[in-house]
Amino acid sequence: MRIIRCTPSYCDQILAIFNAAIVTSTALYDYQPRTPDMMRAWFEIKETGNYPVVGAITPGGDLMGFGSYGTFRAWPAYQYTVEHSVYVAEKFRRQGVGRRLLEELITLAQSQNYHVLVGAIDSGNRASVSLHRKLGFQYGGTLRQVGFKFGRWLDLEFHQLILPSPRKPEDGNPAT
């Protein structure tokens, strides 16, 4: 497994992983699979915001999973906080892919002078909660019954990791 920066050439493989998560899990609270146009727009937002998209690939170049981060909230005082997500293709789960991707996101967030990484995790996703705790994330709270999917109410947990960056935060300055 190798960790790379994904380019838009990975859109189709990322789309397949996203859509599998949408139709089979509560990892995403979407109902409808995404389209190629939606994926291209997603990549443009990442590139414009200087938000990395990282992938784990097999020696043959297949995408095992991907992760990224982006705006947590749109107000200036949140400039040092980002919300991340990691998705792993079903056949590659429980092989350390999610851990490697999340470790890379932590490293990149710190290098970009972010201070807090936030993970919003469905409370039923115990594997993701466990991974975050192993990497030092702390539980921040649960928003109960904020989602409804597969005929049931869903609770959303927040987990955060406080980074030692930036060294000199300032009001009104962008994080990057």
pLDDT tens for the chain, residues 1 to 176: 999 999 999 999 999 999 999 999 999 999 999 999 999 999 999 999 999 999 999 999 999 999 999 999 999 999 999 999 999 999 999 999 999 999 999 999 999 999 999 999 999 999 999 999 999 999 999 999 999 999 999 999 999 999 998 888 888 765 54
The residue among 161, 153, 126 whose CA lies nearest residue 29 is: 153
Q: What angle do CA 28, 163, 75 make, to 5 degrees?
A: 60
Cβ neighbours of residue 10 closer than 8 Å, sequence gap 6 or more: 53, 55, 63, 66
What domains appear along the chain, each with residue ranges and CATH number?
A: 2-162 (3.40.630.30)
What amino acid is encoded at 84 in this protein? H
124, 26 in Cβ contact below 8 A? yes
Q: What is the pTM of this model?
A: 0.93
HEC secondary structure over 56-68: EECCCCCEEEEEE
